[in-house]
């Protein structure tokens, strides 16, 4: 029995125990949640007092002096008796604030603390994620700049195609990540406060408290919203704010998850590039591709079936889906920053892969050179076609190297252009405007996005997996 009661005997989410940062874990902790509830009760009392309700400064000071000293054991016992978490914490708060007990939660419904706290936590969660995402973008931008003109095989439909550069490929990841940082910032900035709306969102209880004074009810909503550092509150709610808000927030995280999955090392073909390795275990962990967000079904379902002013299926899955989506995004970004700060490129491996494919890609250039030297295009095309098939057979049927270039060099037909072959097969002549695209993309679209996060850019990530 003693073993069963120990902290190690209960399940703990590995997102908290192993992966996510301390700041994100705290953001979704019980302590953050319930101290925020008490903070919201203090905001409400202060606003109600300023608008003329009979609340004393002594009552407010008593509440403020006990904002953080929560008796969690008492709250758990109260919840066991009352079967209601908010009222359990009202009673627990009232126990240590006997003078303020009559005015705690005055006129409010449970969602005054529940939903408003969720909105604060969502906002704070975005504030944790955004600098992390900015650092990932910054590290990959530096990487793209470094390798802007290093040729590498391009692929379409998983088949070798025209050459690109390592830096240009990184910019494809960066383009998606810049969309993600804009999406997260927009979702964060679109968040409003629920404010004080009452049991079904009509503010009837507050209108009664202020004896029918609509202006005071609106001012109460504005004051509490301002104290919580939100610029606006939702003008209409049911008992809860619309769960479309949750969908909007978690959709931006799901989209980020799709980007990270694409960037992950499963797509780093042929061992041309590897994540950093501090030691074998970290390397294995850092290289492992993490799954995209698991957040979509729950919030979408909750939003679609939240009929009338509130339904019974609103609470439980939100306790999981909101927290675990942000916790997952947190460790994903920490891992990706760790990887992007130490990506190792293997130019010789890249060069070997290019040599295997480039002769096939260069056939049109060879034909043009022969024509310029006085040859017939149709005859040259047929010669190249036959030699290419022979070389392809060596590669595909015998597992050998691409020997097309050697076949061209041995064929007397191509003697007039042999001196040009090195120039014709120079990889950098096949990369188009990739280096110029990298430079313009980084200067015009990536670097400006990072300016708001410049002061937080030097943070290093040390993974402890």
Domains and their CATH numbers in the chain = 19-96 (1.10.275.10), 348-429 (1.10.40.30)
CB 125 within 8 A of CB 57: no
Q: What percent of the chain stands above pLDDT 70?
A: 86
CB 199 within 8 A of CB 239: yes
CB 295 within 8 A of CB 321: yes
Q: Residues 70-80: what's their mean pLDDT? A: 96
pLDDT tier for residue 296 given thresholds of 50, 70 and 90 = very low
- pLDDT at residue 447 above 50? yes
Among all chains, which residue has been given the structure tokens 């919201």? Answer: 40
- At residue 281, the pLDDT reads 42
**CA-angle at 276, arms to 274 and 282, nearest 5°:** 115
Helix/strand number for the chain, H first, E second: 21, 4
Catalytic center residues = 157, 285
- Average pLDDT in the chain: 88
- pLDDT at residue 287 above 70? no
pLDDT tier for residue 306 given thresholds of 50, 70 and 90 = low
Structure tokens at 253: 């995280």
- At residue 132, the pLDDT reads 96
- b vs e for 18-47, b when ≥16 Cβ sit within 10 Å of the residue's Cβ? ebbbeebbebbeeebbbbbbbbbbbbbbbb
- At residue 357, the pLDDT reads 84
């Amino acid at each position: 029995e003693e073993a069963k009661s120990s902290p190690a005997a209960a399940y703990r989410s590995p997102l908290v125990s192993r992966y996510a940062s301390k700041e994100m874990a705290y953001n979704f902790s019980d302590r953050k949640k319930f101290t925020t509830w008490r903070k919201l009760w203090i905001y409400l009392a202060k606003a109600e007092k300023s608008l003329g309700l009979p609340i004393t400064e002594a009552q407010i000071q008593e509440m403020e002096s006990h904002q953080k000293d929560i008796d969690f054991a008492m709250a758990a016992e109260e919840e066991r008796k009352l079967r209601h978490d908010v009222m359990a914490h009202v009673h627990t708060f009232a126990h240590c604030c006997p003078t303020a007990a009559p005015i705690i939660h005055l006129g409010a419904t449970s969602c005054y603390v529940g939903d408003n706290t969720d909105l604060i936590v969502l906002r704070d969660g975005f504030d944790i994620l955004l600098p992390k995402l900015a650092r990932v973008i910054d590290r990959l931008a530096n990487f793209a700049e470094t390798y802007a003109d290093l040729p590498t095989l391009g692929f379409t439909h998983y088949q070798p195609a025209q050459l690109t550069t390592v830096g240009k490929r990184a910019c494809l990841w960066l383009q998606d990540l810049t969309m993600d940082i804009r999406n997260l910032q927009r979702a964060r900035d679109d968040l409003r406060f629920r404010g004080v709306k009452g049991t079904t969102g009509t503010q009837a209880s507050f209108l009664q408290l202020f004896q029918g004074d609509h202006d005071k009810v609106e001012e109460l909503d504005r004051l509490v919203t301002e104290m919580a550092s939100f610029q606006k509150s939702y003008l209409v709610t049911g008992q809860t704010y619309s769960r479309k808000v949750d969908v909007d927030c978690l959709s931006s995280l799901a989209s980020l998850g799709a980007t990270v999955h694409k960037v992950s090392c499963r797509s780093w073909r042929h061992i041309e590039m590897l994540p950093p390795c501090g030691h074998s275990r970290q390397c294995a962990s850092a290289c492992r591709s993490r799954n995209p967000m698991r957040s979509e079904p729950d919030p979408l379902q909750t939003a679609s079936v939240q009929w009338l002013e509130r339904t019974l299926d609103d609470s439980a899955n939100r306790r999981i889906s909101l927290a675990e989506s942000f916790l997952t995004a947190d460790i994903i970004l920490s891992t990706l920053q760790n990887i992007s700060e130490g990506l190792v490129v293997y130019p010789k491996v890249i060069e070997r892969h290019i040599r295997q494919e480039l002769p096939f890609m260069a056939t049109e250039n060879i034909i043009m050179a022969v024509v310029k030297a006085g040859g017939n295009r149709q005859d040259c095309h047929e010669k190249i076609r036959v030699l290419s098939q022979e070389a392809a057979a060596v590669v595909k049927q015998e597992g050998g190297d691409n020997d097309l270039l050697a076949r061209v060099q041995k064929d007397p037909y191509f003697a007039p252009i042999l001196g040009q072959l090195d120039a014709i097969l120079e990889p950098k002549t096949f990369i188009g405007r990739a280096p110029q695209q990298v430079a313009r993309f980084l200067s015009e679209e990536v670097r400006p996005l990072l300016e708001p996060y410049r002061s937080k850019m030097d943070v290093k990530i040390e993974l402890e997996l």
